[in-house]
């Protein structure tokens, strides 16, 4: 029997468990650990609450979780409750599927001002992640600035631009919905340090901006390269740019009915955040141009725009774990195609950084299982889950099993507001109590 520990119950973790099942069937046992008492990682607390169809993938993970060879062990922080070395003693392979939960630093003066957030924190706030539920951003000003031209920037801009009625059917948490309902924002500026051809936004997500109740996107036609250059783009990117061109052509009559503006400011690199009484008020921007390698370089032209709220959506990095080799520059574990060392592996964003879709994690899981097979063959022979349970007992850990999560799930569904799929619990203590583990 092969015993495998997977740390992290998001997409990368569950796809790896699925790959283990396909490779070894009944001959392998998998324990999936999570520091939260609830599973699914980014599906629960990263994917936008108004993108419920994407969240539907968790049903596939549930099927894996309910099989006899896989266990969920929530409320266990690896590196605190149990060390990697201890897990390596107990399991034939330890796979880190811990994602990239920390914001990359903006490295601009003023970043520490009040009402300036990274996207991990801000997205975590409206998605009810226990670490960020108390964020309480101030939405009483008029101008939000979102930094970055990826899909997370789009998510944040869209959530800020929506009216409460547009969240029907979403699982946005009550505290965020209440605050958004009282928001005074009238404009979100999305800053891109490069141009329309260099965006990292995908067409479907970009297209949504044209269908909001009170908001309209705005793009300055002067920012585009000649239209003939669009054919040089790969098809997905071309579609995205076509959306941007259509935003630039939105007639004023439509804007009159959609006074909330989502304005794209391209070739715009944030250089300094200015504040008053510790709170951000404006952002100084340097106009950029592309160099021959396609990088943004400053032109020396500066301007300042108002900013009562700033959300930097510029990418994430993995949390280091004591004793595990880490690639500081790349912000992820040092690894060779998923192998950190024989017996210790990583998958998903912890392996390759924060890129790709949820589905990109599936081949990752299968790839790492090949590496495990090379290293341990059909071998095995370690204690596995029984050994961990004994250790957890001696440490008094309150393990949350999948059946306990099902109680939390049921309670969340039961207390949902009308039209919502669930109302999440946002405090770990509350989750533990509902799970009957207090
Ligand atoms: P991303 O796609 O890597 O985009 C990051 C953006 O930040 C880029 O436009 C980048 O510009 C910019 N940036 C980085 N450092 C900057 C700086 N110092 N100053 C100004 N701009 C800076 O990252 P993401 O949006 O966080 O998304 C992460 C992954 O999740 C992506 O693969 C994304 O597609 C995926 N995701 C998908 C969905 C969906 O499918 N609905 C939703 C959310 C996220 P440069 O290009 O110039 O570096």
- CB distance 151 to ligand 1 below 6 Å: yes
Predicted confidence band of residue 380 (pLDDT cuts 50, 70, 90): confident
Q: Is the CB of 314 under 6 A from ligand 1?
A: yes
Query: Which pLDDT score is estimated for 179?
Result: 98
- Judge if the beta carbon of residue 149 lies within 6 A of ligand 1: yes
Is the minimum distance from the CB of 49 to ligand 1 under 6 angstroms? no
Mean pLDDT of 401-411: 98
Q: What is the pLDDT of residue 438?
A: 86
Atom of ligand 1 nearest to the CA of 107: 18
Distance 199 CA to ligand 1 centre (A): 8
pLDDT value at 377 more than 90: no
385 lines ligand 1 (CB under 6 A): no
357 CB within 6 A, ligand 1? yes
Assess whether the C-beta atom of 313 lies below 6 angstroms from ligand 1.
Answer: yes
> Given pLDDT bands bounded at 50, 70 and 90, which one contains residue 247?
very high
Distance 400 CA to ligand 1 centre (A): 33
Tell me the CA–centroid distance for residue 330 and ligand 1, in Å: 15
Instruction: Give which of 163, 269, 254, 180 is closest to 217, Cα–Cα.
Output: 254
pTM of the model: 0.97
**In ligand 1, which atom is closest to the CA atom of 51?**
41
Give the containing element (helix H, strand E) for 288: strand 279-290
In angstroms and rounded to an integer, the radius of gyration of the C-alpha atoms of the chain is 23
User: φ, ψ for residue 20 (rounded to 5)?
Assistant: -65, -45
Q: How far apart are CA 264 and CA 192, in angstroms?
A: 8
Q: How far is the CA of 120 from the centre of ligand 1 (A)?
A: 12
Report the distance separating Cα 373 and Cα 381, nearest Å: 14
Answer yes or no: is the C-beta of 354 below 6 A from any ligand 1 atom. yes
Distance CA 66, CA 40 (A): 14
Percent of the chain scoring above 70 in pLDDT: 99
Question: How much distance in Å is there from the Cα of 297 to the middle of ligand 1?
Answer: 18
* pLDDT band (50, 70, 90) for residue 158: very high
**pLDDT tens-digit readout, 254-286:** 999 999 999 999 999 999 999 999 999 999 999
pLDDT digit string (tens) for 110-151? 999 999 999 999 999 999 999 999 999 999 999 999 999 999
How far, in Å, from the CA of 177 to the mean position of ligand 1? 25
pLDDT, mean of residues 52-70: 95
In this predicted structure, the answer to whether residue 323 has a pLDDT above a threshold of 90 is no
What fold is seen in the domain 104-312?
A: FAD/NAD(P)-binding domain (3.50.50)
Report d(CA 258, CA 101) in Å as an integer.
35
pLDDT at 53: 94
11 Cβ inside 6 Å of ligand 1:
no
Pocket lining: 155 vs ligand 1, CB cutoff 6 Å: yes
Look at residues 190, 288, 295 and name the one whose alpha carbon lies nearest to residue 244. Answer: 190
Residue located nearest, by CA, to atom 40 of ligand 1: 357
Q: What is the mean pLDDT of residues 231-244?
A: 97
Please, where are the H alpha helices in 39-118?
A: 42-45, 52-55, 58-65, 84-90
Distance 154 CA to ligand 1 centre (A): 9
**Could you tell me if 61 and 38 are in contact, meaning their C-beta atoms sit under 8 angstroms apart?**
no
- For residue 201, what pLDDT band results from cuts at 50, 70 and 90? very high
What integer pLDDT is reported at residue 381 of this predicted model? 82
Q: Residue ranges per domain, the chain?
A: 2-101+318-434, 104-312
CA–CA gap between residue 113 and residue 124 (Å, rounded): 19
Domain 2-101+318-434 CATH class label = alpha beta
Alpha helix segments (H runs only) across 202-333: 203-207, 235-248, 252-257
Q: What percent of the chain has pLDDT over 90?
A: 97
In Å, what is the CA distance from 21 to each residue of 29, 138, 318? 8, 47, 26
Average pLDDT of 8-31? 97
Does position 378 have pLDDT exceeding 70, yes or no? Answer: no
Q: Say how many Å lie between the CA of residue 232 and the centre of ligand 1.
A: 22
| Contact residues for 5 (Cβ-Cβ < 8 A; gap 6+) | 30, 31, 33, 87, 90, 91, 93, 94, 95, 388
Structure tokens belonging to residue 88:
């390596």
């Amino acid at each position: 029997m092969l015993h495998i520990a997977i740390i992290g119950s998001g997409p990368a973790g569950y796809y790896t468990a699925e790959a283990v099942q396909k490779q070894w069937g009944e001959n392998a046992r998998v324990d999936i650990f999570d520091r939260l008492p609830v599973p699914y990682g980014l599906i629960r607390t990263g994917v936008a609450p108004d993108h419920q169809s994407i969240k539907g993938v968790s049903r596939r993970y549930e099927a894996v979780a309910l099989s006899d060879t896989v266990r969920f062990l929530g409320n266990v922080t690896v590196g605190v409750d149990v060390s990697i070395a201890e897990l390596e003693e107990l399991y034939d392979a330890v796979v880190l599927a811990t994602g990239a939960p920390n914001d990359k630093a903006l490295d601009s003066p003023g970043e520490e001002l009040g009402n300036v957030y990274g996207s991990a924190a801000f997205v975590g706030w409206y998605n009810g992640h226990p670490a960020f539920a108390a964020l309480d951003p101030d939405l009483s000003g008029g101008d939000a600035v979102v930094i970055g031209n990826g899909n997370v920037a789009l998510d944040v801009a869209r959530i800020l631009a929506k009216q409460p009625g547009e969240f029907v059917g979403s699982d946005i948490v009550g505290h965020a919905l209440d605050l958004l309902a009282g928001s005074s924002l009238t404009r979100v500026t999305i800053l891109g340090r490069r141009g329309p051809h260099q965006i990292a936004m995908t067409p479907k997500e970009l297209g949504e901006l044209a269908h909001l109740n009170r908001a309209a996107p705005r793009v300055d036609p002067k920012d585009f390269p000649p239209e003939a250059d669009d054919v040089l783009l790969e098809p997905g990117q071309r579609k995205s740019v076509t959306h941007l061109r259509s935003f630039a052509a939105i007639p004023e009559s439509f804007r009159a009915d959609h006074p909330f503006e989502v304005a794209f400011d391209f070739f715009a690199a944030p250089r300094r955040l200015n504040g008053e009484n510790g709170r951000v008020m404006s952002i100084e921007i340097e106009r950029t141009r592309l160099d021959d390698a396609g990088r943004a370089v400053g032109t020396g032209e500066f301007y300042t725009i108002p900013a009562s709220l700033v959300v930097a959506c510029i990418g994430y990095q993995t949390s280091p774990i004591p004793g595990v080799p880490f690639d500081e520059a790349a912000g992820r574990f040092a690894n060779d195609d998923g192998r950190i060392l024989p017996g210790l592996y990583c998958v998903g964003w912890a392996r390759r950084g924060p890129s790709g879709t949820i589905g990109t994690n599936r081949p990752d899981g299968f790839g790492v299982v090949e590496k495990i097979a090379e290293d341990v063959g059909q071998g095995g022979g370690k204690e596995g889950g029984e050994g961990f349970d004994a250790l957890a007992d001696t440490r008094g850990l309150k393990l949350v099993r999948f059946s306990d999560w099902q109680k939390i799930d049921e309670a969340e569904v039961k207390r949902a507001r009308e039209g919502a799929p669930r109302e999440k619990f946002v405090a770990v203590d509350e989750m533990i109590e509902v799970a009957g583990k207090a």
